[in-house]
Copies of this chain bind each other. A is one copy, B any other.
Amino acid sequence: MNIGEFSLIEKFFAHGGEKAAIELGIGDDAAAVRVPYGHLLQISTDTAIEGVHFPRDLLPADAAYRSVMAAASDLAAMGASPIAMLLAITLPACDEAWLSRFAKGLRAASDVTGLLLVGGDTTRGSLSLTVTVLGSTPAASGLRRDGARPGDRVCVSGTLGDAAAGLAIIQGGLKTSDQATAKFLKERFTGPTARLALGESLLGVATSAIDLSDGLLADAEHVAKASAVAIEINSDKIPLSPAMRGLADSGQILQWALAGGDDYELLVTLPPDEPVPCELTEIGRVTDGLGVSCDQTPASRGYDHFA
């Protein structure tokens, strides 16, 4: 870690928060963190690049907020309790006004998730944010992708496709005169919520979980592959927001719901006898076989950087 440079962020991230889990935060060669006795450390890293993962004119606070949430969402998908995060940021220039606004978004996301910034690195180049998140689960638990079994029900949290519709509005490809609708959908892209509490509540309940970052079909495919099962999705059952539903034709809506990424909702499988919690909607089931099937086919199945 290069603290000389990282002090840029430190300066703009004068966070008063302290956590008993943090023995040593920003300012040394490494951060020192306590993992609760009998718990596993859960760790994940996520890169967001301007112009790829978010538009070039996104507000700095939004870029920070959604990058943290995207990374935190991986902890939610493991059922992990959040502990801390590190930020490796590449910046085109040292623009204090930009950094100040960026730090506000970072701090807001830290407050919401409980992930305290304990370290990072600052380098010069085109804008890129790599957030590493740390959490913990009781040992021998943790919501993995490989536990789905034939007979399980497939459920998702929230409503799907909103972030993709919001991004279309932000990028100008989609117009609406309904300001409330536009605001709701744009915020689903700029300010997603990692389902941390939901993930934790599903420990010992769900047989598998993944967060929806690439799109429903693409992420369901990861679970099907890891669990060596087939997943059948009923498109009629996918929860859709009224805001998104009123904006486009059914083909476009299906495209957003099945293949639009960035919602950061959870996809989980539940044993057949397990009641479906109120935060979840049942959208299909797990069967013998391999792969994901759906009664409807979108034009494209999801985002892959190197497809």
Contact = CB atoms under 8 A, between A and B. Distances in A.
A229 B225 CA distance: 57
Interface string A40-53: 11111111010011
B52 A124 contact: yes
A185 B86 CA distance: 33
This chain's copy number in the assembly = 2
A124 B306 contact: yes
Contacts of A166: none
Contacts of A134: 41, 43
A121 interface: yes
A34 interface: yes
A118 interface: yes
A207 interface: no
A213 interface: yes
Contacts of A74: 1, 29-30
A128 to B, nearest CB: 6
A5 B213 CA distance: 12
Interface string A86-125: 1110110110000000000000000000000011111111
Interface of A: 1-5, 8, 23-24, 27-35, 37, 40-47, 49, 52-53, 73-75, 77-78, 80, 86-88, 90-91, 93-94, 118-126, 128, 130, 132-135, 137, 139, 142, 144-146, 209-211, 213-214, 218, 222, 226, 302, 304-306
